[in-house]
Chain A
Amino acid sequence: MSTNPFPLDKADLMKAYRTMRTIREFEERLHVEFAKGDIPGFVHLYAGEEACATGIMMHLTDVDRIASTHRGHGHCIAKGVDVHEMMAEIYGKATGACRGKGGSMHIADLAKGMMGANGILGAGAPLVCGAGLAAKFRGDGGVGITFFGDGASNQGMVLESMNLAAVWNLPVIFVVENNGYAESTSVDYATAVDSYVDRASGFGLPGVTVDGTDFFAVYEAAGEMIRRAREGGGPALLECKMVRFFGHFEGDAQTYKAKGENDYNREHRDCLKIFAARVREAGVVTADEFAAIDREVGALIEDAVASAKAAPLPSARDLTTDVYVAY
């Protein structure tokens, strides 16, 4: 038995792998199901970006809150939202996480500290300042994490929130998920600064850029920021540079990407492959152990899809419940 060179023990390494594998399997399966025409609405897939959500969420518990984006499935899974409830929600079923009223773009589970995927870019940033403020009043050491893309990073709300968090010294982490594109537009076109760390320093926040395809890089940088925030050290910004394997949304022809870009990324920048290879080569987790997780996750997703398809639809009366006027 070789010594473990990683900052996580074997059980946590397997947990991280299981989470990333679950996200990947969930998204790959949705890609297939969407093409069949079974899934209504807009679906934005997180495949390729798993290490970011997982590397951060490994540090969190239910007292910590996150605010997610339109590309929220990965954040939900990593924060512990039930996969069956998520799948049923995406199918618009009564058994869904939001009883079919929200859909892919609005999955939430407040008990898990998951304050919602969001259809409005940047809207999570002010909300998470509120989460950080509430944690400060409660005094439970909770932190708030807001995720936003390279595109959404240019929303006024995000910039105002960075300043507010700094002024109030809130336990809040701003996570820029920089996958290079906002819809079809490149980050190089839309964001004037070269580094989000420079932007953070303009607001008085410490910032770090990491390779978001490297789970360990994310894990370590996030761990340091989260520890500091819990101890009253205030907000910080983490930029994760990563790749999205699919289109902006399902149905996107992706003609704005370079030829062969997706294949290259799947071959050389797959965070899951990179993680598994490193951990296997260090002799900490065996190929068989990984394969067992793959089988387990495959069965889980299979079951989630089957039960989502079989689940009951909302009933007509659900239309007018959960709002202050009922007729």
Chain B
Amino acid sequence: MARKISMKQAINEALDLEMRRDPAVIVMGEDIVGGAGSPGEEDAWGGVLGVTKGLHAKYPGRLLDTPLSESAYIGAAIGAAACGMRPVAELMFLDFMGVCFDQILNQAAKFKYMFGGKAKTPVVIRAMVGAGFRAAAQHSQMLTPVFTHVPGLKVVCPSNAYDAKGLLIQAIRDDDPVIFCEHKNLYGHEADVPEEAYAIPFGEAAVVREGKDVTIVSYGLTVHRALEAAERLAKERIEAEVIDLRTLSPIDWDTVLESVETTGRLVVVDEANPRCSIATDVSAHVVQEAFGALKAAPQMVTAPHTPVPFSPVLEDLYIPTADAITAAVSKIAPRAMAA
């Protein structure tokens, strides 16, 4: 039975179901229970934004609050994964990767290959990504391309509650390390979500709107901006196909290429900074593999090449807008098309 729940609830539910199913699943992070050793209530926080709230009561002892020592506990999650557990570690903000990156980059990502295929590291690192929260330069970044650059890591970034649940379940069952990126401005976003467990396979993009004139590829929050742009373009009789990548490593090239074969036009929307981004990656791949099908140069709509500014007036200009996406489409979709 499906009912409308938020992405926050969907993530909580995925953790709940997988903890019930598999005793090897443990969850750790800062204040994910909350109130440890404090005189007031236990389970006071359930994570900084309440995503893990209530799980402690259901699975006593399997949610571990950590000291503020990311290198140690992210590393411990990775080590435990290499020893048969399935830990889900919450890094709170992905920006904090800076203090624990070795354990991800040189350890988790490399074990399987470096040890000749003998190791598996079924760890999930959940963290918030993205701007729009007025949280400034060190709590707002979209660092997905940093992780897609590293072989051995899987990188996921859902745009809605349904995908978040299915992708997190897949991430927990997956035998490779997964960086699970949760856009903080999507936690409240609601969708129809089945009550039971279901896994969405990695490397399968979703065509969230069909269209024949231009392909817009995105992931995370900006999928919604792309859909908004597509609505507007439809009024000018430009039919945009919108593809939600859902997982960035592995990435579903087939769906992207097939779409571009039909439309001949590509716009990639990425909240990350522009250099060496998901936007450049998708554009380059399409140019190499489907050059003949392209009727115009691919366009990239990204954040500017700057840190995330604090002031709301600046931050609102930072995230790619539906306006910017519409403008990029207009640039390559000749007005004649609308005639």
- A interface vs B, CB < 8 Å? 40-42, 92-93, 98, 100-103, 105-106, 118-122, 151-152, 154-157, 181-191, 254-259, 261, 313-314, 316, 318-320, 323, 325, 327
Q: Are the C-beta atoms of A183 and B311 separated by less than 8 Å?
A: no
Q: Are the C-beta atoms of B134 and A186 separated by less than 8 Å?
A: no
The answer for the CA separation of A318 and B139 in the assembled complex, in Å, is: 20
* Distance from A259 Cβ to chain B, minimum over Cβ atoms (Å): 8
Q: Are the C-beta atoms of B314 and A256 separated by less than 8 Å?
A: no
Please, which residues of chain B bring their CB within 8 A of the CB of A186? 35-39
Q: Are the C-beta atoms of A100 and B99 separated by less than 8 Å?
A: no
Q: Which of B38, B41, B69 contacts A155 (CB 8 A)?
A: B69
Please, which residues of chain B bring their CB within 8 A of the CB of A255? 35, 40-41, 44
Please, which residues of chain A bring their CB within 8 A of the CB of B45? 183-184, 256
B290 interface residue per 8 A CB criterion = no
Interface stretch, picked from B117-125, B196-204, B217-225, B301-309, is B301-309
Q: Which of A103, A121, A318, A327 contacts B134 (CB 8 A)?
A: A103
Please, which residues of chain B bring their CB within 8 A of the CB of A101? 137, 309-311, 314
**Sample of 22 A–B contacts (CB below 8 Å):** A40-B311, A92-B312, A93-B311, A100-B310, A100-B311, A102-B137, A102-B310, A103-B311, A105-B138, A119-B139, A152-B68, A186-B39, A190-B37, A190-B67, A255-B41, A256-B39, A256-B40, A256-B44, A258-B39, A261-B39, A318-B314, A323-B306
Q: Are the C-beta atoms of A185 and B31 separated by less than 8 Å?
A: yes
Q: Are the C-beta atoms of B72 and A256 separated by less than 8 Å?
A: no
B60 interface residue per 8 A CB criterion = no
Q: Are the C-beta atoms of B37 and A189 separated by less than 8 Å?
A: yes
Q: Are the C-beta atoms of A185 and B312 separated by less than 8 Å?
A: no
Told that A181-B38, A189-B36, A256-B38 touch, could you supply 16 new A-B pairs with CB distance under 8 A?
Answer: A41-B310, A42-B135, A92-B314, A98-B310, A101-B137, A106-B136, A155-B68, A189-B65, A190-B66, A255-B41, A256-B35, A256-B44, A258-B40, A261-B40, A313-B313, A320-B304
The answer for the CA separation of A313 and B38 in the assembled complex, in Å, is: 41
Instruction: Using A92-B312, A256-B35, A256-B40 as known contacts, say yes or no to A185 and B69 having CB atoms under 8 A apart.
Output: no
Please, which residues of chain B bring their CB within 8 A of the CB of A187? 37
Q: Are the C-beta atoms of A40 and B134 separated by less than 8 Å?
A: yes
Q: Are the C-beta atoms of B34 and A103 separated by less than 8 Å?
A: no
Instruction: Using A40-B134, A327-B305 as known contacts, say yes or no to A185 and B65 having CB atoms under 8 A apart.
Output: yes
Instruction: Using A92-B311, A319-B309 as known contacts, say yes or no to A185 and B134 having CB atoms under 8 A apart.
Output: no
The answer for the CA separation of A102 and B315 in the assembled complex, in Å, is: 11
Instruction: Using A41-B133, A42-B135, A186-B38 as known contacts, say yes or no to A103 and B310 having CB atoms under 8 A apart.
Output: yes
8 A Cβ contacts from B36-74 to A: 36-41, 44-45, 48, 65-72
Please, which residues of chain B bring their CB within 8 A of the CB of A185? 30-31, 34-38, 65
Please, which residues of chain B bring their CB within 8 A of the CB of A156? 69, 71-72, 99
The answer for the CA separation of A285 and B44 in the assembled complex, in Å, is: 44
Across the two chains, which residue of chain B brings its CB closest to A89? B310
Q: Are the C-beta atoms of A257 and B39 separated by less than 8 Å?
A: yes
The answer for the CA separation of A292 and B81 in the assembled complex, in Å, is: 63
Please, which residues of chain A bring their CB within 8 A of the CB of B311? 40, 92-93, 100-101, 103, 313-314
* Distance from A280 Cβ to chain B, minimum over Cβ atoms (Å): 33
The answer for the CA separation of A156 and B137 in the assembled complex, in Å, is: 22
Across the two chains, which residue of chain A brings its CB closest to B136? A103
B116 interface residue per 8 A CB criterion = no
The answer for the CA separation of A93 and B314 in the assembled complex, in Å, is: 10
Q: Are the C-beta atoms of B37 and A119 separated by less than 8 Å?
A: no
B95-137 vs A: 1/0 string, CB under 8 Å? Answer: 1101100000000000000000000000000000000011111
B234 interface residue per 8 A CB criterion = no
Q: Which of B70, B95, B313 contacts A92 (CB 8 A)?
A: B313
B318 interface residue per 8 A CB criterion = yes
The answer for the CA separation of A157 and B71 in the assembled complex, in Å, is: 10
The answer for the CA separation of A119 and B313 in the assembled complex, in Å, is: 21
Across the two chains, which residue of chain B brings its CB closest to A103? B310
The answer for the CA separation of A254 and B41 in the assembled complex, in Å, is: 9
The answer for the CA separation of A124 and B314 in the assembled complex, in Å, is: 27
Q: Which of B35, B69, B306 contacts A320 (CB 8 A)?
A: B306
B317 interface residue per 8 A CB criterion = yes
Q: Are the C-beta atoms of B305 and A325 separated by less than 8 Å?
A: yes
Q: Are the C-beta atoms of A154 and B69 separated by less than 8 Å?
A: yes
8 A Cβ contacts from B16-43 to A: 30-31, 34-41
- Name, among B39, B66, B306, the residue most crowded by chain A CB atoms within 10 Å (CB to CB): B306
* Distance from B316 Cβ to chain A, minimum over Cβ atoms (Å): 10
